[in-house]
């Protein structure tokens, strides 16, 4: 129904503007919230005709605020399309805030009369200052919420940056990053998939135990080839998948199978790109499919960029540490080899017993037999062993010396052949064996 002509605008008989303003001010003071403005007009006092629904459409935000006579209120993006007998629509000019529309709706009873429309038009004019003030407050609240959100986003980026800068050890780095991401987003699973250049880029899965009192993070071998991981690393673009939408993939991909067994319904895989190198990806999962909104995905991408730099630094530190250990071990072996070059000519003796012993040394050195050298501590058993090695056909190869009596039986294999980091309890570093 069209708005009444301006010439018809006048307060109804028996009602003063001061009285209506007083009534509205009293009602507005007693109510709070987005629909408080509309609640002030239901129920409407005589001579206003009763209405069952009032709808306010703010054109600038394109939101519809509705209040029913049963006390319920609704915020929507489309206008009311339910049952109605009649409605009266009135424009409200709001200056810098633009324009709004106020709609009085009757869902049952008779249609509105021209006098009703005049009364509603007059009422719309009266509430203009109140509505202007309300919209200003609303805009300030929206601006405040945006500032708070930006503050929170910057805070998590600072926390992540501090976490990645404070660690060079990969275990501690991933554990701290997982703790910060879980704290801010509440994710059910935070993991990383990283390749190891020492194992021909074989990938390891670093899973975080977020249910523990402390965030533990231990590597494990990949359960198989992952199509999701391959796609993400090749395109260098984040991949978001939902179990309900990609059930076929979730039933076959080893990474998604692991997440599904933990009750996760959605997963986001973000490549960790550092320069021209992508050593792995950040794997995030949750039990809800709504957490990975566009805004959260953008923030997580910024987080992944910082993690990629830290992973690159940690990998460089690990390579440098391995190289240093290798050089130290090679230096030790060269020193042993120099000592083993001391042959029989360096043994000074006069007794017949030593002459007989060295004849036996010359005999056994040319054979592949196992030799047992007995003697008290300090009598020169190692000197005789070096002499046998120097006279043997294997003189150009290293002589491995090890005190087996000082090594527990459970660690003998590890000492001789080496072990990887995390291979057993107490294996805090990768150890190269004697062989």
Compute the CA torsion angle 246, 250, 252, 258 (nearest 10 deg). Answer: 170
| Among the listed residues 216, 219, 214, the one whose alpha carbon sits nearest the alpha carbon of residue 193 | 219
Q: Is the residue at 217 inside a domain? A: yes
Q: Is the residue at 159 inside a domain? A: no
Q: State the alpha helices, DSSP H only, in 197-293.
A: 227-235, 247-250, 254-261
Q: How would you write the pLDDT of the chain (435 residues) with one tens digit per residue? A: 444 433 344 555 555 556 655 665 565 555 545 555 677 667 766 666 788 888 888 887 788 888 888 878 888 888 898 888 999 998 887 776 678 888 999 998 888 888 888 878 877 877 777 777 777 777 788 788 888 888 887 887 787 777 777 777 777 778 888 888 888 888 888 888 887 656 555 777 777 655 544 444 555 666 667 888 888 888 889 999 999 898 899 988 888 888 888 888 999 999 988 878 888 899 999 888 788 888 888 888 888 888 888 888 877 887 888 888 888 888 877 776 665 555 566 677 788 888 888 888 888 888 888 899 898 888 888 888 888 888 888 877 878 877 777 778 777 788 778 877 777 777 777 777 777
End of a domain among 291, 318, 345? 318
Opening angle at CA 239, ends 235 and 245, nearest 5: 135
Q: Is the residue at 152 inside a domain? A: no
Strand boundaries in 222-371, DSSP class E: 239-242, 266-274, 277-286
Q: Is the residue at 123 inside a domain? A: yes
CA quadruple 180, 181, 186, 192: dihedral positive or negative? negative
Q: What is the CATH number of the domain that holds 103?
A: 3.30.450
Q: Please tell me the pTM assigned to this model.
A: 0.52
End of a domain among 139, 174, 192? 139
Q: Are 209 and 215 in contact (CB under 8 A)?
A: yes
Check whether residue 194 and residue 99 sit in a common domain.
Answer: no
Q: Is the residue at 363 inside a domain? A: yes
Containing H/E element for 333?
helix 294-340
Show the domain range for 337: 330-432
How many domains does one find in the chain?
A: 3
Q: Is the residue at 156 inside a domain? A: no
Q: Is the residue at 1 inside a domain? A: no
């Amino acid at each position: 129904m069209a708005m009444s002509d301006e010439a018809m605008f006048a307060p109804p008989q028996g009602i003063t503007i001061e009285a209506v303003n007083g009534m509205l001010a009293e009602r507005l003071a007693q109510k709070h919230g987005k629909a408080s403005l509309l609640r002030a007009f239901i129920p409407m006092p005589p001579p206003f005709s009763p209405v069952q629904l009032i709808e306010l459409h703010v054109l600038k935000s394109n939101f519809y605020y509705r209040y029913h006579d049963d006390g319920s209120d609704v915020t929507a993006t489309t206008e009311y399309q339910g049952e109605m007998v009649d409605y009266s629509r009135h424009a409200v000019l709001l200056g810098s805030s633009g324009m709004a529309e106020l709609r009085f709706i009757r869902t049952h009873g008779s249609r509105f009369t021209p006098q009703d429309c005049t009364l509603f038009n007059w009422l719309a004019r009266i509430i203009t200052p109140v509505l202007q003030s309300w919209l200003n407050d609303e805009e300030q609240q929206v601006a405040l919420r945006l500032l708070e959100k930006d503050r929170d986003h910057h805070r998590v980026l600072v926390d992540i940056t501090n976490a990645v800068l404070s660690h060079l050890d990969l275990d501690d780095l991933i554990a701290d990053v997982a703790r910060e991401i879980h704290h801010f987003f509440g994710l059910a699973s935070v993991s990383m998939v990283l390749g190891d250049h020492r194992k021909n880029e074989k990938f390891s899965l670093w899973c975080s135990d977020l249910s523990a009192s402390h965030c533990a993070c231990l590597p494990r071998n990949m359960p198989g080839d992952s199509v999701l991981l391959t796609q993400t690393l090749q395109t260098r673009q984040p991949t978001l998948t939902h179990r309900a939408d990609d059930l076929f993939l979730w039933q076959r991909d080893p990474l998604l199978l692991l997440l599904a067994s933990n009750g996760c319904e959605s997963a986001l895989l973000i490549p960790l790109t550092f320069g021209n190198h992508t050593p792995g990806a950040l794997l995030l999962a949750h039990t809800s499919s709504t957490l990975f909104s566009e805004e959260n995905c953008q923030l997580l991408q910024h987080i992944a960029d910082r993690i990629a730099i830290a992973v690159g630094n940690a990998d460089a530190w690990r390579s440098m540490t391995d190289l240093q250990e290798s050089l130290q071990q090679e230096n030790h072996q060269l020193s042993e080899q120099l000592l083993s070059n001391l042959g029989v000519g360096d043994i000074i003796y006069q007794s017949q017993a030593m002459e007989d012993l060295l004849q036996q040394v010359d005999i056994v050195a040319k054979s592949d037999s196992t030799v047992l050298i007995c003697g008290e501590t300090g009598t020169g058993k190692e000197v005789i062993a070096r002499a046998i090695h120097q006279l043997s056909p294997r003189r150009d190869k290293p002589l491995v010396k090890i005190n087996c009596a000082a090594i527990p039986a459970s660690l003998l294999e590890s000492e001789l052949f080496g072990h990887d980091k995390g291979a057993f309890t107490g294996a805090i570093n990768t150890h190269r064996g004697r062989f």
